[in-house]
Amino acid sequence: MPQTMRVIVFASQKGGSGKTTLAGHIGVQAELAGAGPVALIDTDPQGSLAKWWNCRESPTPAFLHSAFTNLVHDLDEARAQGFKLIIVDTPPAVTKAISEVVSFADLVVLPTRPSPHDLRAVGPTIDICDARKKPMIFALNAATPRARITMEAAVALSQHGTVAPVTIYNRTDFAASMIDGRTVMEIEPEGKSAEEVRGLWEYLQQRLMRLDAMENETGEVVQAAPLFRNMNSLGREVPVFGRRAV
């Protein structure tokens, strides 16, 4: 039987890479795009996503109070309540607990800033996804427009997995919109930031739809093959970040 509820986990060891920002934005965008009902889960003790949601006026997406230890039960409960998509935010760490959260994911999104520090920090998160055999997408976040390092980062990351074809740029409205519990789509729906979030969601949705299609064919839960595995076609040598190439 194909699953009717999907789980996207935002994870990265690097603090400040954009996990919470993108989790909140993708949760709202998925709901706006009709992929709901969507529920958010915050497994970070900092509780940033929960605090943001508490400031929201809109009741959607829903928020599920859960903890690492209760996740199995809470996800079952969410499925029973008819939620179609669960977005999970995680703390900036690489721990056994995060590995367990990833084990519930249909898709793991690794927000990564195009900076050497962020790129070098991706290795352990990739290893968790590999160990759990989970499809994983890098989402370049907070990029500077027209900066060469953005392309270089995409090329470097593509050696380790799939890079979302939509880059989220560094704009103050991402931070400003979240002050009162909203998102860029709710502040300026026609703005560039909103367009990027829509693009990222559409890509993630495509990936989830591929999983659905494959499950419908086989009747089994399957792991998606990446859509864009090799973007390193510039013919240039790029540094390998995060872990050693074999």
Which lies closer to Mg ion via its Cβ, residue 12 or residue 158?
A: 12
- Beta pairing, strands 85-89 & 6-10: parallel
d(CA 178, CA 24): 9
Single out the segment in contact with ligand ATP by CB under 6 A; choices: 121-129, 165-173, 207-215, 220-228.
Answer: 165-173
Query: What does the binding site for Mg ion look like in residue numbers (CB under 5 A)?
Result: 19-20, 48
Q: Any contact of residue 124 with ligand ATP (CB under 6 A)?
A: no
Number of residues interacting with ligand ATP: please give it, by CB under 6 A.
18
Helices (H), the chain: 19-32, 48-54, 71-80, 96-103, 116-120, 123-132, 148-158, 172-177, 184-187, 192-218
- Binding residue for ligand ATP (CB under 6 A) from 175, 221, 225, 234? 175
Tokens read off for 59: 């009741």
d(CA 232, CA 33): 32
Single out the segment in contact with ligand ATP by CB under 6 A; choices: 26-34, 61-69, 70-78, 166-174.
Answer: 166-174
Single out the segment in contact with ligand ATP by CB under 6 A; choices: 42-50, 53-61, 66-74, 231-239.
Answer: 42-50
Which lies closer to ligand ATP via its Cβ, residue 5 or residue 154?
A: 154
d(CA 184, CA 222): 34
Q: Any contact of residue 171 with ligand ATP (CB under 6 A)?
A: yes
